[in-house]
Amino acid sequence: MVENIRTPITRSLSHLISLVLVVFVLITYWPVKDFEFTNFDDKIYVTDNRNVRSGINAENIVWAFNFDHKNKTYWHPLSWLSHMLDVQLYGLNPGHHHMTNVIFHILNAVLLFLVLRRMTGALWRPAFVAVLFAVHPLNVESVAWIAERKNLLSTFYCILTLLLYAYYNEKPGAGRYLAMLFCFALGLLAKPMIVTLPFVMLLLDYWPLNRFGFLQPDRSRWRVSVHLVLEKIPLFLLSGLSIYFATTSLHGAGNYISLQSVPVSLRIGNAIVSYVKYIGKMLWPQDLAVLYPFPEIVPLYQSLGAFLLLVGISILFIAAHRKYAYLMIGWFWYLGTLVPVIGLVQAGIWPALADRWAYVPMVELLIILSWGLTDLSRKYRIKKTGLMLGLLMVVCTLFAVSRNQVRYWENSVRLFQRAVDVTENNYIAENNLGQALMLSGNAAAATAHFNRSLKINPRYPTAHVNVGLSLVQQNKPEQALQSYAKALAEIPDYAAAYNFAGEAHYLLGNTEQAISNYRQAIDIDSTYADAYINLGTAYLGLKEYEQALAGYQQAIAIDPTYAKAYNNLGNFWYRTGHFEKALPNYIKAFGIDPIFAEAYNGAGAALVRMGEPHKAAVFFREAVKIDKNYVAAQNNLKNTLAALAKSKK
C-alpha cells in the first residue's frame, strides 16, 4: 500500500522535503558565486563567443538554430539562448552564470522528488533519491561547470516531461499529451542526450505506472502493450529528428573521431568497463576529475569481467522482476540512458567517461538503492531509527565530499591540477593547467606542464602553440617560432599558429613577415578578429594608416562585442593625434569589459591630451585599482596629480 499523496499531512511533508532540497543544494554550491570561468569550454560557450556575448537578438537567435559548427559543438540551440540570456542579465560576471546553474540543479532535484512521488505514491523513498541526487559529488561537474548548462537544462525538461507524463497517465487527454510532447522537444533542443526518454517511458509504464497490465491476468494486455508503444511514436520521431540534427551539425564541423584513430574494439571495451566504473563512482565517489583520458588499450580481462558482471546483474534483476520490479526497470533505465554518451560514436575531445554524463543515469541507480534498502530493512527487520540514522550518515558524508569537490572548480589552475593529480597520462589536463598558469603570469611553470603534455602526446599541436606563447611571455620569441612550426607541421591550416607566429615576428622586428603570417591566418579563418587586430597594429607601425584602420574596423565588424578591438582602435586614433575619436573607443572597450585596465589608462591619456586632467585622473585611478602592478597607469596618475597640484599654486 502506498501513502495517500493528497492528505494535508503528506502535502505539508512534501513541501518541507522540497524546502530541504533547496537548502541542501544552496549550502553545497554556495561557494560557486565567487568562482571564475574555466579555460575548458567556457570560452567557447560564453566568454569568447561573440554571439553569446552580445545577448539575445534576432541575429543571434538565428545563429543558435542554424547548423554551422559553432566551434565544433553539436546542435543545442536552447542552451545557447540560455547563455545569451545570462549575458543579457548579468554581463560576463561568472558568479551569476554559476548561480543560474545552481538554480537549475535545485529545480531538477525538486522535480525529481515530485515526479517519483507522483508516480509511486511513496514519500520517503523519493525524498531519499532526491536528496542523494542533490548532494552527490558525481553531479558537481554538471553544476559547477558553466559550459554544462546544457546538461542541467535538458534534464530539467526531461524530468518535467516525466511529471507531465504522470499527469497524463492519471487523466489522458490531448492537452496533457501535447504539453508533455512540447517539454520533451525543449529538452532535446537543450541537449540531445535525452533521446532515449521514450524508451524510459515504456519502462515506467511497466513500473511504477503498471500500464502494461502484466501484473494481473488480462487477455487484452498485448493490445494494451501495442497501444503504449504507438502512443510513444511522436516522441520517437522527435528523438530521431534530434539525432539527425546533432549528427548533421557534427558532420559539418568534421568533428567525428575516425575508426582508424579509435577502433571499434577499443570503443566497445571502454564502453563496457565504463558502465561498471560509473556504478563504482556513484557508490564511492573518489578521485573525480574534469577529464578522464581515453585509454590506449582496455585489457581483455577488464572488458570481459565487466561484461559478465553486467550480464549477471541483468539476468538477476530480470528474474526478480515480478517481486521487485524496480530492480529491472531501474537497471535497464541506467543502461539505456548512457547509450548516447557511452562512446560507440565519438566526436571532439572524447574522454573515457565523464561525471557529467552520469547526471541522469545515476537517478535510476539511486532508485534501486532507495527502494532496495527499504525492502532489505523490512526483510531483516531493521529498526526505522537505525535505518534513518544510517541514511543520514550517508547523506552527510556525500555532502562533505561534494563541498570539497566544489572547491576544485574555483579556477582553472585548481581544476586541472586536480585532474593531473588523480589521473594518468592526461595530456589535455597538463596543457590546460599550463594555460591557466600562463594567464596568471607564471610562464615558467606553464612551460613545464606544456612539455609534460607533449611528452605524453608529442603530436599535440595545441601544446606546441602554448609552448610558443609561454616562450614569448618569457621574451624568447625566436624560440617560440620553432614551437609554432611544430604545430603547423601537425595541422598545416592552423590559423592560430600563423597568427601567433606573426606576433613573434613582429616582436623580432620582422614586420613584413608578421603581416604575411596574419594574412595566412585570415585566409584560413576569415572571422579571426585577433588576426585583423594584429594586422592593423603591424600596419600602424609601418605608418600605413589606411590599412591599419581597415584592420581594426574589420575586427569590430566581425565581433562588435570585442573590447580588445575597440581598445586598439582607440590606440590608433590616439597615435594619429585624434584624441576626441580615441576616447569613445576606450570607453566602449571598458564598457564591454569593466576590468580592462588598459582601456581606462587609454581614456585617461586621451583626456590629458584634450586638456581635462581632472577627468583623466579618475580613469587612471580605476586602471591602478584594477591592476596594482600597472606601472604606466601609476606613472600617468602620479604625473597628472602633480600637474593638478602645481596648477593650484
How many whole angstroms separate alpha carbon 280 and alpha carbon 257?
27
The Cα 45–Cα 98 span in angstroms is 13
Q: Tell me: the pLDDT tens digits for 74-111?
A: 899 999 999 999 999 998 899 999 999 999 999 999 99
Compute CA 300 distance to the chain's CA centroid, rounded to the nearest angstrom.
33
What's the confidence (pLDDT) of residue 67?
80
The SS3 assignment for 347 reads: strand
Question: What pLDDT, on the 0 to 100 scale, is given for residue 145?
Answer: 98
d(CA 564, CA 330) in angstroms, rounded, equals 52
CA angle 360, 235, 275 (to 5 degrees): 30
Low-confidence residues of the chain: pLDDT under 70: 1-6, 69-72, 213-221, 252-255, 649
Locus of grid cell 559550459: 147
Compute CA distances 18 → 110, 161, 167, 468, 532, whole Å. 6, 19, 19, 52, 53
98, 144 in Cβ contact below 8 A?
yes
Angle (CA) 38 42 43, round 5°: 105
Other CB atoms within a 10 A radius of the CB of residue 4 amount to: 11
DSSP 105-173: HHHHHHHHHHHHHHHH--SHHHHHHHHHHHH-GGGHHHHH-GGGHHHHHHHHHHHHHHHHHHHHHHS--
* Cβ within 8 Å of residue 253, ≥6 positions away: 69, 70, 72, 73
Query: What gap in Å lies between CA 127 and CA 140, rounded to an integer?
Result: 20
* List of residues 6+ apart from 136 with CB closer than 8 A: 282, 285, 362, 366, 398, 402
Phi, psi of 287 (to 5 degrees): 55, 45
CB atoms within 10 A of CB 348: 15
Round to whole Å and give the CA distance between 274 and 292. Answer: 11
Torsion angles phi and psi, residue 17, rounded to 5: -65, -40
Q: Cell digits for 398?
A: 556525500
Instruction: Identify the CA nearest to 139 among candidates 410, 406, 412.
Output: 406
Q: Quote the pLDDT of residue 646.
A: 84
Query: Residue 339 has which C-alpha cell?
Result: 547509450
CA separation for the pair 343, 339 (Å, rounded): 8
Sort 609 into a burial class: Cβ within 10 Å, 0-12 / 13-18 / 19+.
Answer: middle
pLDDT of residue 5: 57
C-alpha cell at 298: 582496455
Residue carrying C-alpha cell 546544457? 150
Residues in the chain: 649
| Residue 449 in grid coordinates | 606542464
What's the CA gap between 629 and 626, in Å, rounded?
9
Q: Which residues contact 93 (CB under 8 A, 6 or more apart)?
A: none
The cell for 54 is 552580445
Consecutive H or E run containing 610: none
* DSSP secondary structure of 467-479: HHHHHHHTT-HHH
Euclidean distance between CA atoms 134 and 506, whole angstroms: 53
Specify whether the CB–CB gap between 98 and 32 falls below 8 A.
yes
- Closest to 332 (Cα-Cα) out of 297, 293, 358, 361: 361
Cα–chain center distance at 413: 17
Task: Spell out a b/e string for 257-267, using b for 16 or more CB atoms within 10 Å of the CB, else e.
Answer: beeeebeeebb
**Nearest-angstrom CA–CA distance, 564 and 47:** 13
| 67 touches 252 (CB < 8 A) | yes
CA distance 143 to 128: 20
Residue 242 corresponds to which cell in the numbers above? 534530434
* Cα 169 to Cα 163: distance, rounded to the nearest angstrom: 10
Distance of alpha carbon 418 from alpha carbon 420, whole angstroms:
5
Distance CA(604)–CA(607), nearest Å, equals: 5
Q: Rg (Cα) of the chain, in Å, rounded?
A: 29
Q: Do the Cβ atoms of 458 and 489 come closer than 8 Å?
A: no
Buried b (16+ CB within 10 A) or exposed e, 485-498: ebbbeeeeebbbbb
- Are the C-beta atoms of 540 and 548 separated by less than 8 Å? yes
Question: What stretch(es) of the chain map to CATH 1.25.40.10?
Answer: 562-649
End-to-end Cα separation, the chain, in angstroms:
92
**Helix 511-524 and helix 495-507, axial crossing angle in degrees, nearest 10:** 170
Residue 65's SS3 state is helix
Angle among Cα 571, 572, 573 to the nearest 5 degrees reads 95
Q: Is the bond into 208 cis (omega within 30 degrees of 0)?
A: yes
Residue 468 CB contacts under 8 Å (≥ 6 apart), including other chains: 480, 481, 482, 483, 484, 487, 497, 500, 501, 504
Instruction: Tell me which amino acid residue 82 is.
Output: S
Distance in angstroms (rounded) separating the CA atoms of residues 149 and 356: 11
According to CATH, the topology of domain 562-649 is: 1.25.40
